[in-house]
Amino acid sequence: MSQVFEFLAQQPVLLLFVVIGLGSAIGHFKVRGVGLGAAAVLLLSIGLSAWGASYGADLEIPEATGTLGLALFTFCVGLVSGATFFSSLRRSFGPILAVAGVLVASAAVAVATGSLLGLEKAVVAGSWAGAVTNTPALAAARDAAGDATGPTIGYAVTYLFGVVGMLVAVSAALRHREQDADAPPTLTSRTVRVEVDGRPRIEDLEEQHGDRIKFSRVRHGETSPIQPADATDLLLLDDLVTVVGPTEDIDAVTRELGHASSHRLEADRVYLDVRRITVSSERVAGRTVAEIDLVHRFGATVSRVRRGDIDMVATDDFQLQLGDRVRVIAPRERMSEVSSWFGDSSRGMSDIVPVVLGIGMSIGILLGAIELPVSGGVFKIGSAFGTLLVGLVLGRIGRIGPVVTVMPYTAAQAMAELGLLIFLAQAGSRAGAQIGAAFTSGDWLRILVLGVVVTTFVSAGLYLVMRRLFKIGGTRLSGIMGGAQTQPAVLAFANARTRYDARVALGYALVYPAAMITKIIVGRVLGGL
């Protein structure tokens, strides 16, 4: 085996893809429906690197490779989450503060437990950083303590349970995800006969229901042709109108207007046709449904948008992205024209938009490298945090003039997964090289106990606070746990279990920045004790 390890040590690129391939294969095995997913890459890398070290071979993937993978991952997560992150931020300030509070409380628990176990303060600081799986916090602790060895040993011993313990907590959070009260509602369609004389306007009705519904078709009178609904249309007595939205809102608007009709306007294709069209044209991407103005351009309308595996109501302020699948209602003779205008090409789902990738990553990495003076030292947010912030902003903007600032959803997800696997392989190889030295220390068992206490406190605290105080469903909670742990392996595990439910990535991106900042500050404080 020594010759094999020596060969792999000289071929870091080969080592990288061996770990990714074998680790991913292991991650596909499931026990009672539960598998490790991408986290298996991390665990295999740790084990392989430690095994190689026992033969005197340094199986470590270059740190720059891991930095690239993590930055790519966080940038693409930001792009995917940016459209909804800032609106969620306003109503999620409480959970963000709660995450910071749990992390600060866990540091106090670490100090108390470390004192009881008789551990040095520098070791406690590194052990806490490993238990919350945050390398920047380890770096801050080492700088503040002026000791590289103690914190590193503590980090290496506690890191593994920091990952595995949080995976167990996420599994618990996802056990009853089918009962989540915050699940995206299933959209339904219904034709309603108008029985009121008030001549309500479609735009007013949509606003009244918080833009959760969309009127797609209307027929004024029994002999009139069916037309796409316009926001300015007034509904008259005996009109037929088709409404799309969550069942509860559809029931409510039916009671307001009249009753459900036995006629189904969507089944009548004499005047209008329906088609799912892929957004692949840059003139459409980054614009809202109102801005593309299909009614006046083609006499058409968009009723729903499918992004990833989720259908959403196409409200006027909904921002379209490359790769979205829009449900268009248009006159039969103009449908091909509408399709060409949207692009309707598979390229819209796979284009990585190199301009956005290159410039966005560059700005994020530069932002992360800026040194800020803090109490006699310097503070850097790091490339991962910098690229996440830039990705969130670009995802929210959508376009700047003629330039689209987002990637297609599927392309961004694929790039994020690749970056994640690269980072996990590199991080595992680094931890594995250190773990042998850590276990030669006589304190390793006490350090491990400390790590178990801290990780358990964080996972249990997050679960109780988010479920009991904020009533957050298990799916979104799994993303929050991954973000609070600043651990991509936990996010990958949750994504695999939920088939990339958008709530997971949103929960992760929501708390990740606050958790990262809190951990770096706390790491520096613990290291300076």
Residue 259 lies in a domain: yes
User: Could you tell me which of 211, 220, 245, 221 has the C-alpha nearest to residue 229?
Assistant: 220
341 & 300 share domain: yes
Question: Mean pLDDT over residues 462-491, rounded?
Answer: 90
**pLDDT above 60 for 33:** no
458 & 440 share domain: yes
Torsion over CA: 111, 114, 116, 119 (sign) = negative
157 & 10 share domain: yes
171 & 193 share domain: no
pTM of this prediction?
A: 0.69
254 & 219 share domain: yes
Secondary structure letter of residue 334 according to DSSP: G
Burial class of residue 473 in the structure, from the number of CB atoms within 10 Å of its CB (0-12 exposed, 13-18 middle, 19+ buried): buried
CATH code (residue 264): 3.30.70.1450
Question: Mean pLDDT over residues 96-123, rounded?
Answer: 94
170 & 192 share domain: no
Instruction: Name the residue with higher pLDDT: 466 or 182.
Output: 466
170 & 197 share domain: no
As for how many domains the chain has, the answer is: 2
138 & 158 share domain: yes
pLDDT digits (tens, 9 = 90+) for 1-23: 788 888 888 899 999 999 999 98
How far from 216 is each of 86, 191, 234, 241, 329, CA to CA, in Å?
Answer: 28, 10, 14, 8, 7
Task: Name the token pair of 11.
Answer: 């071929």
How far from 343 is each of 6, 280, 283, CA to CA, in Å?
Answer: 52, 5, 9
Per-residue confidence (pLDDT) for residue 148, from 0 to 100: 62
pLDDT tier for residue 379 given thresholds of 50, 70 and 90: low
Average pLDDT, the chain: 85
* Range among 84-93, 378-387, 447-456 rated most confident: 447-456
Which string of b and e fits 375-401 if b means at least 16 CB within 10 Å?
eeeebbbbbbbbbbbbbbbbbbbbbee
What is the length of the chain?
529
Residue 330 lies in a domain: yes
Q: Is 487 strand, coil or helix?
A: coil
pLDDT digits (tens, 9 = 90+) for 64-95: 898 888 889 889 888 887 777 777 677 788 89
333 & 217 share domain: yes
Task: Name the token pair of 41.
Answer: 């890459």
Domain boundary among 303, 330, 349: 349
Per-residue confidence (pLDDT) for residue 414, from 0 to 100: 86
**pLDDT above 90 for 115:** yes
**pLDDT above 70 for 149:** no
Residue 411 lies in a domain: no
278 & 160 share domain: no
Which of 127-136, 245-254, 360-369, 371-380 is predicted least confidently? 371-380
pLDDT digits (tens, 9 = 90+) for 181-231: 777 677 888 999 999 988 899 989 988 888 788 898 899 877 788 888 888
Q: Residue 46: which domain range?
A: 2-76+83-180+416-527
Question: Mean pLDDT over residues 298-308, rounded?
Answer: 85
Task: Name the token pair of 347.
Answer: 């390229």
Domain boundary among 321, 349, 377: 349
**pLDDT above 90 for 427:** no
How far from 56 is each of 3, 432, 433, CA to CA, in Å?
Answer: 11, 13, 10
**pLDDT above 80 for 419:** yes
Instruction: Name the residue with higher pLDDT: 113 or 493.
Output: 113
Domain boundary among 349, 376, 406: 349
Residue 400 lies in a domain: no
**pLDDT above 80 for 117:** yes
**pLDDT above 60 for 112:** yes
Q: Is 274 strand, coil or helix?
A: strand
**pLDDT above 90 for 98:** yes
